[in-house]
Amino acid sequence: MSTATESQSSAEAVAGDPLLRVDGLHVRFPVRGAGRRQWLYAVQDVSFTIGRGETVGLVGESGSGKSTIGNALLRLVPVHAGTVRLGDTDVLAARGREITDVRRRMAMVFQDPLAALDPRCTVAESVAEPLQIHRLRPSGGRRARVAELMDLAGLPSRFLDRYPHELSGGQRQRVCIARALAAEPELLILDEATASLDVSVQSQILNLLRQLQQEMGLSYLFISHDLASVEHMSDRVLVLYLGRIMERSPREDLYRSPGHPYTQALISAIPLEDPVAERQRRRIILEGDIPSPIDPPSGCVFRTRRPLVIPECAEDLPPGHDLGPDHTAYCLRAGEQVGGT
């Protein structure tokens, strides 16, 4: 399928019947300082959809709220406000067995596979755990189903009785992927799923994920700080900063013509394969650090690091500026190119 056709299909899926719909998501955590309780605003007014068979990339610096969004979708952290719908199911209103069913339809692959696996359990026991939790009884038996899942993840059955410490990082992540697939979910949340792996292994895991998506019709929320991986995997991309979405766009438009100065800075940091082009490129260096989410800036949260800031940036949240079909940047000066070095 051509890239253009893929983008059209993704857009139609989102517009027609999205698998996941998130509206106005707010997540905050209580913290204590100077003898009084304050709030850490981790996610603020985030909205997006994921179509069936689509990959949406979520990118931003560490501390931007990416993992918190993934955890919120699975009810692993409390949500202050907003709605999350998985098909016809209201995720945030789910109770008891309904939450378990949501976690059957959505599964997560975490950044650190060693920490995600119980060191006391064999590979077979770890992969079989979702089958037990969700009371699934495969026709050929659990052991045979586990071997089938391992084969899908690219690991032979000889690994079934090994323990996590006996595996490489890439092998452990394949086990985590097999476990995530055990209950036949519709959506996988991939939270920095390749960040702890060697570069060559990262490529293998990304290719495996694309193959599984094609074969099983999976939808992905691909969370990463690595824009090169996001470009490789995603149909659409959301750029997050200090808990707010700065830009949303189809993949091709975002990387060809980023509209938000934050996105421009992130993309300018992606290494180029051509050494001559790499030496001649204009790199955008942002000054300062991400502000504290306990006391975020007024108006545009990016204004403290934005080059050529204007007074209006401090007054109100910037409106969305449409830069093309499904391409929106939340900046008063969206579309202007920031200078680099």
Q: Which sequence spans correspond to the domains of the chain?
A: 3-330
Q: What is the pLDDT, as a whole number, of residue 12?
A: 40
- Residue positions counted in the chain: 341
* DSSP string over 246-272: EEEEEHHHHHHS--SHHHHHHHHTSPP
Q: Which of 301, 314, 299, 287 is nearest to 242 (CA)?
A: 301
pLDDT band for position 16 (cuts 50, 70, 90): low
Q: What is the pLDDT, as a whole number, of residue 9?
A: 41
Dist CA 73 CA 107 (whole Å): 10
Q: What is the pLDDT, as a whole number, of residue 32?
A: 81
Dist CA 60 CA 275 (whole Å): 26
Q: How far is CA 236 from CA 10, 57, 325, in A?
A: 8, 6, 12
pLDDT band for position 10 (cuts 50, 70, 90): very low
Dist CA 273 CA 49 (whole Å): 33
Side-chain-facing half-sphere of 179: CA atoms under 13 Å: 26
Dist CA 309 CA 63 (whole Å): 23
* pLDDT (tens digit per residue) in 25-83: 999 999 987 677 899 999 999 999 999 999 999 999 888 999 999 999 999 999 999 99
* pLDDT (tens digit per residue) in 217-276: 999 999 999 898 999 999 999 999 999 999 999 999 999 999 999 999 999 888 777 777
Q: What is the pLDDT, as a whole number, of residue 8?
A: 41
pLDDT band for position 7 (cuts 50, 70, 90): very low
* pLDDT (tens digit per residue) in 147-165: 999 999 999 989 999 999 9
Non-local CB neighbours of 107 within 8 Å, separated by 6+ positions: 130, 180, 181, 183, 185, 187, 188, 189
* pLDDT (tens digit per residue) in 313-325: 999 899 999 999 9
Q: Provide the token pair at 33.
A: 């300082």
Strand partners of residue 126 = none
Q: Which of 64, 45, 73 is nearest to 187 (CA)?
A: 73
**What is the CATH architecture assignment of 3-330?**
3-Layer(aba) Sandwich (3.40)
Would you say residue 1 has pLDDT above 70?
no
pLDDT band for position 11 (cuts 50, 70, 90): very low
* pLDDT (tens digit per residue) in 163-203: 999 999 999 999 999 999 999 999 999 999 988 888 889 99
Would you say residue 15 has pLDDT above 50?
no
Q: What is the pLDDT, as a whole number, of residue 339?
A: 56
